[in-house]
Amino acid sequence: MPENVVHIESKKLYITIWFALLCFTALTTGVAYIDLGPFNTVVALVIAIFKASLVVFFFMHARHSERLVRVVIACAVFWLLILISISMTDFATRKRMPGPQWFQSQPLILQHLQPGPTS
C-alpha cells in the first residue's frame, strides 16, 4: 500500500462506533448484575474483546494499515492468549491441591479477646 494514501473516515462512522462502545459498556454493566455463575467472567471478556477490536480497527486505523502492523497486532493477540492460557492452567490446578492441615482445623478462640462480663 502506498504511504501517501490517506483514508478519511466520516464523522458518522466515528459516532456510530462511539455509540456501539457505549452500548457495550452498558451491556457489560447490565451483565454484571446477572448471576451467570462461572460464566460472568467469560461474558465480560467476550464483550471486552469486541470493544477492544472496535477501538483497534477504527480508532487506531488498523483496518487501513500495512501488513506489518497487522502482523504485530496478531502477534500481540497471540501473546495475550499465551498469557491467559498459562494463568488459566495455574488457576485450574489450584482447586485440586489440599490446604494445609492447620487451616482445616477448628478455629482458635482466644479468651482475652472476647468481651467479658461488665460489672
Q: Which of the four pLDDT bands, split at 50, 70 and 90, describes residue 28?
A: very high
Judge if 80 and 59 occupy the same domain.
Answer: no
pLDDT for the residue numbered 8: 80
Q: Which of the four pLDDT bands, split at 50, 70 and 90, describes residue 96?
A: low
Residue of 94, 74, 84 lying closest to 45 (CA atoms): 84
* For residue 78, pLDDT beyond 60: yes
Judge if 51 and 74 occupy the same domain.
Answer: no
Q: 113 lies in a domain?
A: no
Judge if 13 and 56 occupy the same domain.
Answer: yes
Structural domain of 72: 66-96
CA distance readout (Å), 77 to 44, 71, 80, 119: 17, 10, 5, 68
* For residue 4, pLDDT beyond 70: no
Q: 58 lies in a domain?
A: yes
The count of domains in the chain is 2
Judge if 1 and 57 occupy the same domain.
Answer: yes
pLDDT in tens, 37-70: 888 988 999 999 999 999 998 888 888 888 898 8
pLDDT for the residue numbered 50: 94
Q: What is d(CA 3, CA 66) in angstroms, rounded to the nearest whole number? A: 9
Judge if 59 and 70 occupy the same domain.
Answer: no
Judge if 34 and 46 occupy the same domain.
Answer: yes
Asked if 75 and 63 count as a contact pair (C-beta separation under 8 A), the reply is no
Asked if 44 and 31 count as a contact pair (C-beta separation under 8 A), the reply is yes
* For residue 75, pLDDT beyond 90: yes
Region of 21 (left: φ > 0; alpha: ψ -120 to 50; beta: rest) is alpha
Q: 104 lies in a domain?
A: no
Judge if 20 and 74 occupy the same domain.
Answer: no
* For residue 24, pLDDT beyond 90: yes
Q: Look up the pTM and report it.
A: 0.63
Judge if 59 and 37 occupy the same domain.
Answer: yes
Backbone angles phi, psi at 60, to 5 degrees: -95, 5
Judge if 30 and 71 occupy the same domain.
Answer: no
